Amino acid sequence: MLALTVMSRVALKSAREIETMRRAGALVAETFRVLEPYVVAGATLKDLDRLAEEHIRKAGATPAYLGYGPRNNPFPGTICASVNEVICHGIPDGRELQEGDIVGVDIGVLLGGYYGDACYTYTVGKVRPEVQGLVDATRASLNAALDLVKPGARLGDLGHAVQTVAEGRGYSVVREYTGHGIGKRLHEEPTVLHYGARYTGLKLQPGMVFTIEPMVNLGRPETRLLGDGWTVITADKQPSAQFEHTVAVTQKGHEILTL
């Protein structure tokens, strides 16, 4: 899930804290594996939401998104389920998946006082070649940014890597929604942009933990928020894909906690 608010400074995590976050991240990854066989034509988004909640609670954790947000409009699901033109924050309702759909599933958990957060875009059966290209480019843009995470790198390097891969393949990068720091709070500093210039932005240090979660559109980058106050779609109704990992900066490089 994307940052709505952030803290005022970056909190470096201790080895003990990162170990706890490693457990939370492993549960997120495990939940994706549980869901994968059920992401098929005819399944409903509610089906996926129920399966995810059951697995997370059975592991002794709490769904991070359920009830998140303002008191007058808390998020109603365990997962965000974003189909086709939905960029992010899709509400898991009774919609049935169809052959050729793509669905971005965003999962967050709270375990041992710390959060894990990741997103994966599934394809439902065979999708159009240009949509498969979008999914592949989005995954590649995330991996390009992850490869650069190490002490001394800058956040601008990561955003530049995402932008270079996505735009180089003919797609557009969403600007309004970002990655974020994570720890005892779901959303902390720093804000992680998915575009930018090399050698700019915050310098990375060991102990920083944050998400990188590019949202890449088949068409134009503009977005539109729907009336439910959560669901964000592409303004031109073209498909959008998202991939996300939680990553820790280590002394020698990085560790992906949600791999």
- Ramachandran area for residue 58 (φ above 0: left; ψ -120 to 50: alpha; else beta): alpha
Q: What SS3 state is found at 28?
A: helix
Q: What SS3 state is found at 88?
A: strand
254 is in an annotated binding site: no
End-to-end C-alpha distance for the chain, whole angstroms: 17
117 is in an annotated binding site: yes
213 is in an annotated binding site: yes
Residue 247 in contact with residue 256, Cβ under 8 Å?
yes
180 is in an annotated binding site: yes
Structure token pair of residue 85 = 């033109």
Residue 82 in contact with residue 3, Cβ under 8 Å?
no
Residue 29 in contact with residue 120, Cβ under 8 Å?
no
Q: Tell me which residue has tokens 């549960």.
A: 27
194 is in an annotated binding site: no
Instruction: List beta partners, residue 115.
Output: 110
93 is in an annotated binding site: no
Helices 155-168 and 129-146 sit at what angle, rounded to 10 degrees? 160
What residue numbers does the annotated binding site for a divalent metal cation cover? 106, 117, 180, 213, 244
What residue numbers does the annotated binding site cover? 89, 106, 117, 180, 187, 213, 244
What residue numbers does the annotated binding site for substrate cover? 89, 187
